[in-house]
Amino acid sequence: MKDYIESFPEQLRTAIQIGQSAKISFKGQNLSQVCLSGLGGSGIGGSLVQDYVSGLMKIPFFVNKSYEIPRNVNAQTLFIACSYSGNTEETLAAVKQAKKVKAIIVCITSGGALQKFAEQHGYPCILIPSGMPPRACLGYSVTQILYVLAKAGLIQKSFEKEFQDAILTIEKQSTQLNKQGLKLAQKLSKREVLLYTTVGHEGLTVRFKQQLNENSKMLAAHNVIPEMTHNEIVGWRDIQKQRTVVCISAPNDYPANLRRLNFLKKVIKTCQAEIIDVQLLGESFWKDALIFIHLTDWVSWHLSLLNEKDAIEVKVIDRLKSEMSKK
């Protein structure tokens, strides 16, 4: 896992090359919405893109993380099936349903049954490098999703510069980000972890949580402001010395949400929980996102060492897949 984290900038460069050379045409197709189907390491890229396009696209973009597709998916829907292995059973079930309603399908995968499905039915298929844990390949998948949207004329390619800025910053600050990740990991070790963020950063926060789950073998929970300040905040009333709350925000967040976050932190302090602030730069969506992903990947890896766990091992998921394969 350490090698995968270190090679993240190079992964992003390769991903850009793959996306730029992808041969996909949407001429004459009238798109009314975009549905991305994917789970786990293959689906979180869709969640990040959903946050990114919420203020950019004129048509809805939503993520499906189920065996079944929403009933509103139809012949005017751009349906992006994303499965790193190509064998994710929920995504395969969903894309077959999308075919039945004549959706406009694009597949993103490293091979497997999804590639075969695309080839059999003549759907565009963007192939990304294989042989890695899906969660270590976020750079490949999220980049291809953006290029699919750009080639469909739904977004501009301004994300390319944001990616390049992030790559250069990560390379320049690689040692610093690693050390910062270690310091955060030491503060989270042996603690009950809650991740709180503001609207617009939920995809990033879920990615962090998933890395803590899979790499660090830790449970973590997350919630989002302003919604949580209408309910979960009420649960903060007893002493919670065992908890550490990571607050994730950016200086250009909606002002009222930052005020709510500041009030929430006052409430948390009365319960004697530890608070860690992680501030995004606020420069651009993808520069913020990619640097945060790299930093928190380091956090999860250092925690795997502190917890004496193998960051790669996911035996319980393997057992689940074996159980689900039984007839």
Distance separating alpha carbons of residues 265 and 274, to the nearest angstrom: 10
Helices (H) and strands (E) in the chain, counts: 12, 9
Distance separating alpha carbons of residues 79 and 299, to the nearest angstrom: 34
Q: Which residue type sits at 159?
A: F
Distance from CA of residue 191 to its chain's centroid?
24
Smallest CA-to-CA distance from 52 within 194, 178, 159 is with: 159
Distance separating alpha carbons of residues 17 and 4, to the nearest angstrom: 19
Strands 192-198 and 125-127, sheet pairing = unpaired
Residue 138 sits at φ, ψ, to 5 deg, of: -55, -40
Distance separating alpha carbons of residues 293 and 206, to the nearest angstrom: 11
DSSP state of 180: H
Which residues carry out catalysis? 214, 230, 321
**In a 3-state reduction of DSSP, which class is residue 174?**
helix
Distance separating alpha carbons of residues 99 and 80, to the nearest angstrom: 11
